[in-house]
Amino acid sequence: MNMNQHKNIALITGASAGIGLELTRKLLSEDWQVVALNRSDFPADDMRIQKAVKSGWLRIYKIADLADYASLRRSLEEIKSKEQWIDILFNNAGGSFPELSYSKQGREQHYELLTVVPYIILMELKELIKNSELKTVINTSSSALKFTKEFTIESLERPETFRKLIGPYATSKLALSLWTQAIGPQLAKENIKIRSVDPGSNNTLRKGKNPGLPLLVKPLMKLFFSPPTHGANKLYEGALGDHRNETGVFLLKGQVAELKFTDQARHVLERIHTIYEHEFLQRNF
């Protein structure tokens, strides 16, 4: 593969299913190269995907658990050793959990996976992003954040109560959008643009997977939610559409939207940076 001539390269976390899979398909169809960081395999019967793998246009890095720092470090080191640049980083991996659970690092699982890990991935891959032409980061957020009534770092890390979708999931997505806002000016000094994007309501139900959704949401999702192509298009537009030159903003239905608890944005950023420096960088795994 000739890497001397610039080709657009996107890295997508959670690229093998749902919105991430449809985004992968869309980018490949537009002659992008895709770097995928996944837990699960791509569909074996998708001929376009399998052809892209064989040609090297789709490069897969497997990871056992994104929220396990030892596993995450190994995968990111492999990416850094093999890739030359990343035009767009799509921090897309995530999901909602059915019950209160904690990561190996001892923090609530939604917060670890949806808020902290995207920051670690950004920090670790920042030099590859700076080597590119587009220098863009898109964090997949959610309109569920609007349900957040109270917000503190302590409740993010170790919540006292648990509610599906509108509990730790919603507050973790809000925290993601808040640190995205806070870090915007800092990254702008390095010509990197970052935005958080709500992909809208998508039917991402998968057989054999407990989606961690309230009971009434599942039938509504099957009947009324859009297919994952809708969410993929929203992320694509968030990266390359009308707001491509803005940074730090939260995009909802294609428009810049206000966030709650913006007074906490700097606090969130400082906290997750401390986690990155003192737990991810300094700890021996």
In a domain, 4, yes or no: no
For residue 110, list its beta bridge partners. none
Per-position b or e across 68-94, b if 16+ CB within 10 A of its CB: bbebbbebbeebeeebebbbbbbbbbb
Number of structural domains the chain divides into? 1
> For 34-57, how does the pLDDT look when each residue is reduced to its tens digit (9 = 90+)?
999 999 999 999 999 999 999 999
Cβ(249)–Cβ(243) under 8 Å? yes
Q: Which two tokens stand for residue 92?
A: 């897309």
DSSP codes, 117-153: HHHHHHHHHHHHHHTSSS-EEEEE--GGGGG-----H
In a domain, 203, yes or no: yes
**The CATH number of the domain where 222 resides is what?**
3.40.50.720
Q: What is the pTM of this model?
A: 0.92
> For 171-219, how does the pLDDT look when each residue is reduced to its tens digit (9 = 90+)?
999 999 999 999 999 999 999 999 999 998 865 655 656 566 665 666 6
Share of the chain above pLDDT 90, in %: 83
Predicted pLDDT at 283: 79
In a domain, 20, yes or no: yes
In a domain, 216, yes or no: yes
Predicted pLDDT at 217: 61
Give the domain extent around 109: 9-281
In a domain, 109, yes or no: yes
> For 75-121, how does the pLDDT look when each residue is reduced to its tens digit (9 = 90+)?
999 999 999 999 999 999 988 898 999 999 999 999 999 999 999 99
In the three-class reduction of DSSP (H, G, I as helix; E, B as strand; rest coil), residue 101 is classed as coil
In a domain, 142, yes or no: yes
Range in 110-114, 165-169, 254-258 with the lowest mean pLDDT: 165-169
